[in-house]
């Protein structure tokens, strides 16, 4: 592993932060923290922390000796000085003389010792940093170091690799006890450059940021060199079907199996979002004949357990969806049973009784295909997938030089159910559409874009489909987060199939569809060109059918219900003169919505339509608004407000809100919601 320290870059950091009144110690601390945090071989999603001992001025203007240590909630890869809260060293030092200290007291005391009470909580490993004497301290969960230490004889291997350069600290759960033990080991070996925390990670330290960082790189490189002695990194392969299933076939089945029904009467599911990954290394790992053994020993370093649970679910390899479903269902049921048994084995044994967490897996391995990370959001699913990929690297390396054996199950239980680890996940009420995946067509602009935005604001993961590829991507970019834009001409059934498959590959499935794409054709019905009428039917009826049909197939594979919503417009109920070519297919789509309600209600799939009128977007493109306003002798603004009972302009956001309301209306199906400011001629009766 090469050092990425560049003197000019370090000087840049110092100069840049000096301009903000931040001292050199913290500036270089930020620099090397970022160097460490942006390398996934060292630090992944909160695993790892750094500190510097320096001085700070408190609110009274007094200078105090402090430890600036990584605060929880900050990512080392893009940390700022605010992510390194300053804690008074005199308080931290006094804690060392205590025999015991509860986690709650430790957190409380650390908070009271903050120079700025608005700071985030200092890392759970703060005391370890405080008790070591060095000015700069770096801590990572290096994959290479873990591959050496997660072995039955990991201690002997590390002793041989590190000799006098690093001292070994036996496994103890993070917190007060580990901090005291690590400080004692260091005091017994005052000349070491770092500490290897067996089955956990590595610390390096020095008088300068550069020295601590350089030592981390050197010590990790020693581990890498030891691993390089292995002759093969290939697992002996299991026999897999020649022609496997696709991700789009497998994902909805998996997603359905890892969802839990919370309220059968209300059709409420605790779903998960999926993140798929594959690569040569992943396929080697999941396709190994012994995958059930080496994949299920436990996580490579304890704090991963809150993201991935202690082991993944291993799903069967199959070339038939039904066979896969049956095998996967049995595997998930076994996983849940095993999780209950694991909880029962350890709960209350070494501490107070805990409440069992949800028993569903966070990672699924599919031989021949890849891995799925899972979580309550696309972000959490990606974190689980990242950590799982990291685990695959560590286990592959560990098995290449010996046998992978991480910390014991009882120790992992303590970390999984440790209040300070669970606090990292954050609690609080979820958004009403959280854990759901919404697809919106015609989403590059107007009602579609507004609807995707509204769904995302309620917590849904959104996919924006539009034949305008750049527009769909731009609209998704404006929403941010995990939103994706996908090119799709909804009048082409093959495009629809591929676009929805892409959604399954990105998020694992589909729960809500807003079939919105449409366009207005005009013409007096007795004189209209047949080709125009048929073109309008293609977009305003058949495209809705293609989207709904494909989405229902995916929803049935998930088995957790779903919601199909259509933009039908007031033309479906109240024809306007010369708008037959538009109104006829929209009327058919209104009945399409009712037919789906009837045929798929028993599968928990609800439907709905929004009947909007005079929205200044979409159908009013190409000067149509000006034309129609002029015909009535009105300005466009007057036209939009006139003629409805409330005299209010209907906006895209109002229509978007109606789609959200229908998506949340658990006991409504086959419903039409009118969003037109009041048009009694278009009222349904
Ligand atoms: Zn750690």
Average pLDDT score over residue span 381-404 = 96
Instruction: Report CA(48)–ligand 1 centroid distance (Å).
Output: 5
pLDDT at 166: 98
* Same-domain check for residues 73 and 165: yes
* Same-domain check for residues 199 and 264: no
Instruction: Report CA(664)–ligand 1 centroid distance (Å).
Output: 42
Domain for residue 431, yes or no? Answer: no
pLDDT at 303: 87
* Same-domain check for residues 457 and 524: yes
pLDDT at 539: 97
* Same-domain check for residues 404 and 490: no
Instruction: Report CA(175)–ligand 1 centroid distance (Å).
Output: 10
* Same-domain check for residues 268 and 343: yes
* Same-domain check for residues 119 and 221: yes
Q: 611: which 2 tokens?
A: 């009947």
Instruction: Report CA(125)–ligand 1 centroid distance (Å).
Output: 7
Domain for residue 298, yes or no? Answer: yes
Instruction: Report CA(274)–ligand 1 centroid distance (Å).
Output: 27
Asked if 461 and 377 touch (Cβ cutoff 8 Å), the reply is yes
Instruction: Report CA(349)–ligand 1 centroid distance (Å).
Output: 24
Instruction: Report CA(139)–ligand 1 centroid distance (Å).
Output: 7
CA triple 356-434-73, angle to 5 deg: 70
Residue 105 has pLDDT above 60, yes or no: yes
Strand partners, 513: 439, 564
The DSSP secondary structure of 573-590, one letter per residue, reads TSPPTTBHHHHHHHHHHH
Please report, for the domain that includes residue 142, its CATH number: 3.40.225.10
Tens digit of pLDDT for each residue in 249-306? 999 999 999 999 999 999 999 999 999 999 999 999 999 999 999 999 999 999 899 8
* Same-domain check for residues 192 and 309: no
pLDDT at 640: 83
Tens digit of pLDDT for each residue in 552-569? 999 999 999 999 999 998
* Same-domain check for residues 67 and 210: yes
Whole-structure pTM over 0.85, yes or no? yes
Q: How many CB atoms lie within 10 A of CB 631?
A: 9
Lowest mean pLDDT among 164-178, 421-435, 469-483: 421-435
Instruction: Report CA(201)–ligand 1 centroid distance (Å).
Output: 6
Alpha-carbon span 428 to 346, nearest angstrom: 27
Q: Which domain holds residue 117?
A: 7-227
Tens digit of pLDDT for each residue in 34-72? 999 999 999 998 789 999 999 999 889 999 999 999 998
Among all chains, which residue has been given the structure tokens 């259509």? Answer: 566
Instruction: Report CA(199)–ligand 1 centroid distance (Å).
Output: 10
* Same-domain check for residues 487 and 602: yes
Question: How confident is the prediction for the chain on average, in pLDDT?
Answer: 94
Query: Which of 364, 398, 425 delimits the end of a domain?
Result: 425
Please report, for the domain that includes residue 530, its CATH number: 3.40.50.720
Instruction: Report CA(70)–ligand 1 centroid distance (Å).
Output: 12
pLDDT at 424: 67
pLDDT at 120: 94
Tens digit of pLDDT for each residue in 604-648? 999 999 998 878 765 566 788 888 889 989 988 888 888 789 999
Tens digit of pLDDT for each residue in 487-542? 999 999 999 999 999 999 999 999 999 999 999 899 999 999 999 999 999 999 99
* Same-domain check for residues 127 and 106: yes
Strands (DSSP E) found in 446-496: 461-466, 484-487
Number of domains in the chain: 3
Instruction: Report CA(118)–ligand 1 centroid distance (Å).
Output: 24
Q: Give the CA count within 13 Å in the CB-facing half-sphere of 117.
A: 3
Three-state secondary structure string covering 590-658: HHHHHHHHHHHHHHCEEEEEEEECCCCCHHHCCCHHHHHHHHCCCCHHHHHHCCCCCCCCCCHHHHHHH
Instruction: Report CA(467)–ligand 1 centroid distance (Å).
Output: 48
């Amino acid at each position: 592993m090469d050092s990425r320290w560049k003197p000019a870059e370090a000087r840049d950091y110092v100069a840049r932060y000096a301009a903000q009144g931040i001292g050199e110690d913290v500036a270089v601390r930020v620099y090397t923290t970022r160097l460490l945090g942006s390398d996934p071989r060292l630090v992944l999603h909160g695993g790892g922390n750094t500190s510097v001992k320096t001085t700070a001025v408190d609110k009274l203007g007094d200078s105090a000796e402090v430890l600036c240590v990584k605060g929880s909630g900050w990512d080392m890869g893009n940390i700022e000085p605010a992510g390194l809260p300053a804690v008074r060293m005199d308080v931290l030092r006094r804690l060392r003389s205590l025999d015991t200290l509860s986690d709650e007291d430790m957190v409380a005391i650390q908070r009271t010792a903050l120079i700025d009470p608005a700071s985030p909580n200092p890392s759970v490993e703060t005391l370890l940093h405080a008790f070591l004497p060095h000015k700069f301290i770096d801590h990572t969960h290096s994959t290479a170091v873990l591959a050496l230490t997660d072995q039955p004889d990991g201690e002997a291997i590390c002793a041989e690799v590190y000799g006098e350069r690093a001292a070994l600290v036996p496994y103890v759960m993070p917190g007060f006890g580990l901090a005291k033990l690590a400080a004692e080991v260091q005091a017994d070996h005052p000349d070491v450059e770092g500490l290897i925390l067996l089955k956990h990670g590595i610390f390096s330290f020095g008088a300068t940021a550069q020295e601590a960082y350089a030592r981390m790189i050197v010590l990790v490189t020693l581990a890498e060199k030891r691993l390089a002695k292995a002759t093969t990194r290939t697992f002996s392969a299991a026999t897999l079907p020649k022609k496997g299933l696709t991700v789009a076939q497998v994902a909805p089945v998996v997603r359905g199996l890892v969802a839990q029904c919370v309220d059968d009467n209300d059709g409420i599911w605790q779903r998960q979002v999926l993140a798929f990954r594959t690569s040569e290394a992943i396929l080697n790992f999941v396709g190994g004949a012994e995958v059930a053994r080496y994949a299920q020993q436990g996580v490579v370093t304890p704090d991963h357990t809150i993201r991935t649970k202690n082991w993944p679910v291993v799903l069967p390899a199959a070339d038939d969806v039904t066979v896969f479903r049956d095998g996967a269902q049995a595997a998930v049921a076994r996983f849940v049973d095993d999780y209950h048994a694991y909880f029962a084995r350890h709960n209350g044994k070494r501490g107070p009784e805990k409440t069992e967490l949800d028993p569903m897996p966070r990672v699924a391995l599919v031989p021949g295909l890849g891995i799925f990370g899972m979580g309550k959001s696309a972000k959490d699913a990606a974190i689980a997938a990242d950590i799982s990929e990291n685990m695959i690297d560590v286990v592959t390396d560990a098995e290449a030089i010996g046998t992978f054996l991480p910390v014991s199950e009882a120790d992992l239980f303590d970390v999984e159910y440790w209040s300070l680890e669970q606090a990292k996940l954050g609690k609080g009420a979820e958004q009403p559409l959280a854990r759901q995946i919404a697809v919106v067509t015609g989403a590059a602009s107007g009602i579609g874009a507004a609807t995707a935005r509204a769904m995302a604001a309620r917590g849904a993961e959104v996919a924006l489909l539009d034949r305008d590829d750049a527009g769909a991507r731009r609209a998704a970019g404006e929403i941010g987060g995990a939103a994706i834009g996908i090119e799709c001409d909804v009048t082409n059934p093959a495009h629809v199939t591929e676009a929805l498959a892409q959604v399954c590959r990105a998020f694992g499935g589909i729960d809500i569809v807003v079939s919105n794409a449409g366009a207005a054709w005009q013409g007096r019905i007795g004189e209209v060109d047949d080709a125009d009428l048929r073109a309008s039917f293609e977009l305003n009826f058949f495209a809705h059918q293609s989207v709904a049909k494909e989405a229902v197939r995916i929803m049935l594979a998930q088995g957790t219900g779903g919601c199909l919503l259509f933009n039908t417009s007031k033309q479906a109920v109240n024809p306007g003169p010369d708008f037959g070519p538009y109104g006829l297919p929209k009327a058919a789509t209104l009945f399409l919505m009712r037919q789906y309600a009837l045929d798929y209600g028993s599968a928990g799939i609800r439907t709905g339509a929004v009947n909007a009128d005079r929205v200044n977007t979409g159908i009013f493109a190409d000067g149509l608004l000006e034309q129609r306003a002029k015909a009535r002798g009105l300005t466009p603004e007057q036209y939009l407000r006139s003629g409805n009972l409330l005299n209010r302009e209907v906006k895209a956001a109002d229509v978007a809100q109606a789609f959200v309301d229908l998506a949340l209306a658990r006991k409504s199906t086959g419903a039409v919601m009118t969003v037109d400011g009041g048009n009694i001629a278009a009222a349904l009766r």
